[in-house]
Chains A and B, each alone.
Chain A
Amino acid sequence: MLTLAIMLAGGVIGFIGLPKRVHAVNLKVQVACTALLIFAMGVSLGSREDFFRELAAMGWEALVLSVLPIVGSTICVYFLTERFLPKKEKRRHDRHRR
Chain B
Amino acid sequence: MIAIAVSSLVLGVLCGRYLFSPEVVDFFAAAEPWALYALMFSVGISVGANRLIFHKLKEYHVKILVIPLGIVLGSLAGGAAGSLLTGLGMRENLAVAMGMGWYSLSGVLLTGLGGASLGSTAFLANLMREIFSFMVIPLVARWFNEYTCIAPAGATSEDTTLPMMVKYTGEEVVVMSVLNGVICSLLVPVWINLLYAV
Q: Which residues on the A side are within 8 Å of B193 (C-beta)?
A: 1, 4
Q: Beta-carbon contacts of A16-54 to B below 8 Å, as 1s and 0s?
A: 111000010011011101111111111111111001001
- Give chain A residues whose Cβ lies under 8 Å from the Cβ of B126: 66
Residues of B contacting A15 in the complex (Cβ-Cβ under 8 angstroms): 48-49
Once bound together, how far apart are the Cα atoms of A54 and B140, in whole Å?
33
Measured as residues with beta carbon below 8 angstroms from the partner, the interface class of chain A is: 35 or more
Cβ-neighbour of B140 out of A10, A17, A74 (below 8 A): A74
- B172, chain A: closest CB distance, angstroms: 8
Give min CB distance, B149 to chain A, whole Å: 9
B12 in contact with A43 (CB, 8 Å): yes
Give the interface size class of chain B.
Answer: 35 or more
A14 CB contacts on chain B under 8 angstroms: 44-50
Write out the residue numbers on chain A whose beta carbons fall within 8 Å of the beta carbon of B138.
Answer: 96
Are A64 and B49 in touch, CB under 8 angstroms?
no
Q: Are A69 and B129 in contact (CB under 8 A)?
A: yes
Question: A34-B5, A41-B9, A65-B79 are contacts. A74–B144 as well, Cβ < 8 Å?
Answer: yes
Q: Is the interface of B mostly helix, strand, loop or mixed?
A: helix
A51 to B63, CA, bound (A): 45
Secondary structure of the A contact surface, majority rule: helix
Residue with the highest number of chain A CB atoms closer than 10 Å, among B41, B96, B116, B136: B41
Set of chain B residues within 8 Å of A10, measured between Cβ atoms: 40-45, 47-48
Contact of B47 among A6, A11, A43 (CB under 8 A): A11
Are B48 and A40 in touch, CB under 8 angstroms? no
**Chain B 128-165 interface mask (CB, 8 Å, partner A; 1/0):** 11001100101011101111101110100000000000
Q: List 24 A-B contacts (CB under 8 A).
A: A1-B189, A10-B41, A10-B42, A14-B49, A18-B49, A26-B42, A34-B1, A36-B8, A44-B25, A44-B111, A45-B12, A65-B96, A65-B97, A70-B129, A70-B151, A71-B78, A74-B152, A76-B69, A77-B66, A78-B70, A81-B66, A81-B148, A88-B145, A91-B169
Interfacial residues, chain B to chain A (CB-CB below 8 A):
1, 4-5, 8-18, 20, 22, 24-25, 28-29, 31-32, 35-50, 63, 66-67, 69-71, 73-79, 81-82, 85-88, 93, 96-97, 100, 104-105, 107-109, 111, 116-117, 119-121, 123-129, 132-133, 136, 138, 140-142, 144-148, 150-152, 154, 167-170, 173, 186, 189-190, 193
Interface of A with B (CB < 8 Å)? Answer: 1-4, 6-18, 23, 26-27, 29-31, 33-48, 51, 54, 57-82, 84-85, 87-88, 90-91, 93, 96
